[in-house]
Every structure is written in C-alpha cells, then in structure tokens.
C-alpha cells in the first residue's frame, strides 16, 4: 500500500488511518488508531525512497534513539516495522500544533512566553544531551505546542548518539531545506554536538522575540553565508521590550565559534531560569570574526550544485518514464 492509498478508514497492518496530519520531504505523517481505539501517529516514508537501505536505517535509528528518551518534552516512538518494503514508525500522539503554526498566528511572543518556551526546549534537550543524544534538526516545524502550553520535541531522524556512526544521506536536503536554523559547523559539514542544538534554540528564541529569524535571504546560499559571516542583528532594535540579559543569552547561543556558546542545553536552561540575576559582564564579547573561509564558500556552492543536479536528474527520469509509458499505451 502506498502513502497515497492511506486515506481515512484505510488499514495499515493493525492500524486504521484517521487522517493525514503532516507531509515532509521524505515522509508522510498520519493520525491513526490501534485495535483498542488508542490514537497514535504513523510516520511513513515516501514511495520514491521505499526499500532504500539508508531510509530503513534512519527510521530504525530514530526508533532506537527516541525509545530510550523518557521526558515529557520529547515525543516517544513506540514501534518500528521490520519490513523493508513498507517501513513505518509508530509514535505517541501529542495533541497540539507546531511551533511554526503557533508563531505564525501570534507573530511575536512576549518576553515571558519566549523565555518559558526557550526554557522548555532547553530542558528537553538537556535531558537528551545527558543521554548522549544530539537532535541536530531543531526548528519550529519539529516542535509541538499542546493546548496547555507544553512544548514537545519531535523528529529525531537526523539525531546523533554519541559514538554512533554517522548517517550523511540527508545532509544535503537538510542544509538546503531549513538553513535558517543550521549552525556554522553544520554548514561546514561537521557532525555537530550539544552546542549545535543550543545554536538552533538561540535562533528560535530570536525569532520568537523579534518576529523574524536573525538572517534572511532570497536563497539558501545567502542565508548560510550569513550564518558563517554576518553578525547577530541587535535584538533590542527589533523589539525594545527585550531586556539586556535576554539579548545576551540569545547572542551567546548564536556565537559562531562553538566553544563560545553554552556548552550544553543544561547551561542554557539554568540562565533562562535565573536571567534576572545574571551579571551583564558575562555577555560582553569582542568583535566576532567570520568563520567562513574561501573553501567554505566553495563547499556551500558545491552543496547547492549537487542538490540542484539531483533534482534535475530526478525530473528528467520522471519525464522519460512518463513518455515511455505513454508511448506504449
């Protein structure tokens, strides 16, 4: 059965599809019910990558990582099918909307709410970091907001567990699809760690307070270049209500050099809890040098070129297949 056939009422093994609730670059997400009527979420890869070994490994790793993370701020994975022709994840159902939908509606959050959301994210990731897990793809689309204001982190598809081998197949699409939240080290092709997640939380804190991300551009290359080279915009000029300590916390999250950021999310959580008592002296930095060298700029161009080439080849393949089918019709 293809994801196109997973309409309301359809069956996928013992699960009954209720409705589609999400569509991503590599998978579709459905609300479903198990035989007892309990609601769950099914995450199914697109047909175009079904049977692909790396897809299967990514789904299996997501299950292995998230199943042993027991925190109210992290969505739990419950089950994983072992059929390579139809792999899917079964996850707990969390009622709510994405942080992206929430911010789109609210535009700009109050300082208190932004700090509360940032603290919740930091707490969830502090727990993950304590278990040796780094998310590496934190963004508003991967965070749910429940009706009572609780944040839940989802999608550990590109997460890294300390000591595990690296899965690189999705790196290109991640870089090109969501460059707004990528750290400089990710753009440079490095593995990333706890400080990578801190950087992404910093971007979201900035966005919640300013109503926009720190760096904007007409294309992915422009945004990635700014992550490597451009200074952090003055947050207080975009929102005069932001207190200096909060701006200092955000700027510390967004330092381009990893060693100058919070060492992990636990340190960030601590400062967000006691920000009113923080001395401003700890947030005084010298001029920040860009981290991009000429070779890094070439790397970005290479990423864009390769990805564009893959896209063009895929379109050509589909076109040829269509013509061949209709030629014999």
Cβ contacts of 212 within 8 Å, gap of 6 or more: 238
Rounded-to-10 torsion of CA 254, 256, 262, 265: 60
Residue linked to tokens 């013509």? 323
Residue linked to tokens 């290359």? 221
DSSP 34: -
Tell me which residue of 137, 178, 184 sits closest to 156, measured CA to CA.
137
Residue 137 annotated as catalytic: yes
Candidate list 28, 34, 137, 259, residue with the active-site label: 137
Which two tokens mark 136? 């590496």
Residue 148 φ/ψ, nearest 5 degrees = -95, 15
Residue 243 φ/ψ, nearest 5 degrees = -70, 150
| Rounded CA separation 242/60 (Å) | 42
Tell me which residue of 188, 76, 105, 182 sits closest to 138, measured CA to CA.
182
- Are the C-beta atoms of residues 33 and 40 closer than 8 Å to each other? yes
- Are the C-beta atoms of residues 30 and 93 closer than 8 Å to each other? no
Would you please indicate which residues are annotated as catalytic (active-site) residues?
137
């Amino acid at each position: 059965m293809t994801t196109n056939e997973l309409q309301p009422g359809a069956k996928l093994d013992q699960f009954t599809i209720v409705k589609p609730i999400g569509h991503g670059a590599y998978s579709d997400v459905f609300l479903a019910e198990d035989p007892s009527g309990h609601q769950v979420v099914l995450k199914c890869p697109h047909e175009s990558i079904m049977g692909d070994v790396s897809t299967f490994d990514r789904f299996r790793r997501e299950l292995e990582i998230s199943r042993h993370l027991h925190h109210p701020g992290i969505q739990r994975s419950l089950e994983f099918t072992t059929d390579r022709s139809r792999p899917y994840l079964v996850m707990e159902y969390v009622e709510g909307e994405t942080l992206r939908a929430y911010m789109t509606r609210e535009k700009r959050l109050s300082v208190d709410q932004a700090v509360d959301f940032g603290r919740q994210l930091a707490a969830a990731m502090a727990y993950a970091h304590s278990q040796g897990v780094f998310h590496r793809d934190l963004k508003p689309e991967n965070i749910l907001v429940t009706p009572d204001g609780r944040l839940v982190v989802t999608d550990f598809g590109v997460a890294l567990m300390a000591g595990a081998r690296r899965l690189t197949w999705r790196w290109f699409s991640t870089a090109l699809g969501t460059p707004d939240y990528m750290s400089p080290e990710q753009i440079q092709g490095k593995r990333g760690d706890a400080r990578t997640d801190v950087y992404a939380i910093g971007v979201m804190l900035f966005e919640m307070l300013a109503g926009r991300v720190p760096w904007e551009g007409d294309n992915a290359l422009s945004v990635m270049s700014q992550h490597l080279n451009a200074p952090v915009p003055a947050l207080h000029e975009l929102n005069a209500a932001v207190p200096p300590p909060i701006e200092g916390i955000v700027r510390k999250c967004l330092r381009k050099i990893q060693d100058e950021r919070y060492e992990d999310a636990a340190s960030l959580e601590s400062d967000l809890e006691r920000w009113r008592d923080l001395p401003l002296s700890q947030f005084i930095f010298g001029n920040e040098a860009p981290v991009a060298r000429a070779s890094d700029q070439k790397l970005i161009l290479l990423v864009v070129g390769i990805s564009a080439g893959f896209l063009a080849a895929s379109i050509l393949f589909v076109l040829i297949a269509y013509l061949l089918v209709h030629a014999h019709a």
